[in-house]
Chains A and B, each alone.
Chain A
Amino acid sequence: MSSVTQIAPTPVAPVAPRGRGRRRRTRQLGWNLLGLLVLAVMVFPVYWMVATAFKPGQQILSYTPHWVPTNPTLSNFRDAIHQPFFWNAVKNSLIVVSAVVALSVVLAFLASLALAKFHFYGRKAFIVLILGVQMVPLAALIIPLYILMSRLGQIDKLTGVIAMYLTFVLPFTVWTMRGFLLGIPKELEEAAMVDGATRFGAFVRVLLPLVGPGLVATSIFAFIQAWNEFIIAYVFLHTPAKQTLMVWLASFTTLRGTDWGPLMAGATLCALPVVVFFLLVQRRIAFGLTAGAVRG
């Protein structure tokens, strides 16, 4: 199992009889073919979306699939962005996302500072709370949330949606930030203070730069969540001009039948920012959800 992953040959390899080496090579080939097949199956839906987005209409509505867009066109994208309310949706999504990112990073940083750097009564209870609260199903909460928001006059308002998104990303961002802060050795801070820095000075000069990657990772997580969320936006924002991009995309077909080309172009546009940011932080996200699960 291990020899496959090693680049340098193991000491055993040269001694091994030739027949066994060949057999291993065929087996390796078999695994690689299987791997290629799996890769093709997994990636195909994404490819199909992008390919369809660039195809002219008659290649899309064809009984035999055209596997490659031979005459690529941008007309689907043009149709998509000229759909009603596209630019409203872009603006609303940007407002919601930037508010959620800014607020969640600040609140999560403060809270995680308390969890990572202080020992206080109720600390463990709070950790249990933020872990447990993530597990409450949104589908169940949406009913009382609707009642609460209607009492507060926040139905059909972006502020209400921002407040809800903020709260939903907080548990995860606090937990992740706490992990980053715990990773910074106490000695660094203490060394700065021994060298004459105040507690605040040590914080600004030592802690803050080190925690930078954590701030970036959590803000991108908040970005992805707020960008992708659908149910809340769908239930709470009634006016088409106030909806976010995901609601716009989901109601795309119901506006005037199913127009697959522009729909796939719109889907590609909606996915693009998330895909880019996701590729930047995927390791951190996997880490946060299962943090420390294998530590030997």
Chain B
Amino acid sequence: MASVAESEFPLASRRRRRFTRQRIGRVLAPYALLAPAATAIGVILGYPLYLLVKMSFEKYGLFELIRHKGRWIGTANYAHILHDGEFWRVLARTVVFTAVTVTLTMVLGTAMALLLLQVSRWLRVAITTGLVLVWSVPVIVAVDIWRWMVDYEFGVANWTLTKLHIGNFIRHDWFANPWTGFGVITALIVWGAIPFITITVYAGLAQVPQELLEAAAIDGAKPWAVFREVTLPLLMPIFVILTSLSIIWDFQVFQQIWVMLDFRPTSDYYTMAIYAFHQSFQISEYGLGAAIAVVMVLFMFGATLVYLRQMLRTGEVQ
């Protein structure tokens, strides 16, 4: 019947066929454009994510690594971790470290953004340039700089603190005690993270309508009240995104500690990422390492969800 129709109305059907081919092209085009990127993400991010979960339920040691095949052992890895005191210590240490670092980063970064509003124009340009300079320093370079500054013998930090009569820091080894050691690492990370926070918050502050601030001031609100009641609510989306990003970045801290302590941190310095790395690459218990990593991902999931929702709500979806 189709052939009859075709012979009866040859022109119309040809037009219709061209029309559909064009339509199929338009429907398929976006998928063809996406295919290369989607394939790369699928193979190198998607599949390993699946593999990570699978491995966390397997015995996966050196033998299995050579055979390219794990052995299913159910939840034994998780049971092992949860009954391990070391794991809980590492988890608590990572949570505290993240809380302190993120709080310091956000508070100092925001304070500096507010300071940028107050200083003269030339100084604002100078500070912004300085911040971008700091921002651009590669992490490994930053670690080397800080390691040099807190060197126990010739470091400029020990000399300065001694001169300022804060205490006797001559030949003080900051890494002998994990508390001061983490203090240095926190300082390094906060120093490196402030520029991004300050510049982003300042960009947000600059977009707050002046009339609102003036109206509040005319109504007799004190500067702090203006900040809390007008500026803060308007900047909330930015703060949510920056805080969740900072949590995500700081919770998985690895290279700063790893390089700062010469590739062999003692277990006092283990955070989740280092603990997982140690279990898999140093004692070849890849299954255990995977289970630790899964727990780490789950912990970060909350921050990730908040970030995603905010990004979709604000950046979306023209």
Contact = CB atoms under 8 A, between A and B. Distances in A.
A8 interface: no
A114 B120 CA distance: 45
Interface of A: 1-2, 4-5, 7, 28, 31-32, 34-36, 38-39, 42-43, 45-46, 48-49, 52, 60-65, 106-108, 110-111, 113-115, 117-118, 120, 123-124, 126-133, 135-148, 150-151, 163-164, 166-168, 170-171, 174, 182, 224, 227-228, 230-231, 235, 246, 249-254, 258, 260, 263-264, 267, 270-271, 274-275, 278-279, 282, 286, 289-296
B300 A271 contact: no
B51 A294 contact: no
B37 A286 contact: no
28 contacts: A1-B117, A31-B118, A35-B119, A35-B127, A39-B130, A49-B141, A65-B156, A108-B37, A110-B34, A114-B30, A135-B300, A136-B297, A137-B293, A140-B276, A145-B48, A150-B65, A167-B43, A230-B140, A250-B144, A264-B148, A270-B140, A274-B136, A286-B196, A289-B200, A290-B238, A293-B241, A294-B203, A294-B235
Contacts of A289: 196, 200, 241, 245
Q: Chain A's interface: helix, strand, loop or mixed, by majority?
A: helix
A1 B213 contact: yes
B45 A133 contact: yes
Given A4-B119, A148-B44, 11 more contacts: A1-B223, A35-B118, A35-B123, A46-B134, A62-B154, A131-B312, A139-B276, A140-B294, A143-B293, A166-B44, A260-B148
3 smallest beta-carbon distances between A and B, as pairs: A278-B136, A139-B273, A140-B293
B255 interface: yes
A28 B131 CA distance: 21
Nearest to A276: B136
A137 B248 contact: yes
Interface in B150-175: 151, 153-154, 156, 159-160
Contacts of B311: 131, 291
B308 to A, nearest CB: 6
B286 A45 contact: no
B44 A167 contact: yes
Contact of B154 (A32, A63, A140, A251): A63
B90 interface: no
Given A65-B156, A275-B136, A292 B45 contact: no
Contact of B141 (A137, A170, A270, A278): A270
Highest count of chain A CB atoms <10 Å: which of B145, B259, B276: B145
A279 B132 contact: yes
Given A64-B159, A250-B140, A136 B45 contact: yes
Contacts of B262: 253-254
Contacts of B68: 147, 150-151
Given A113-B33, A136-B45, A260-B154, A4 B145 contact: no
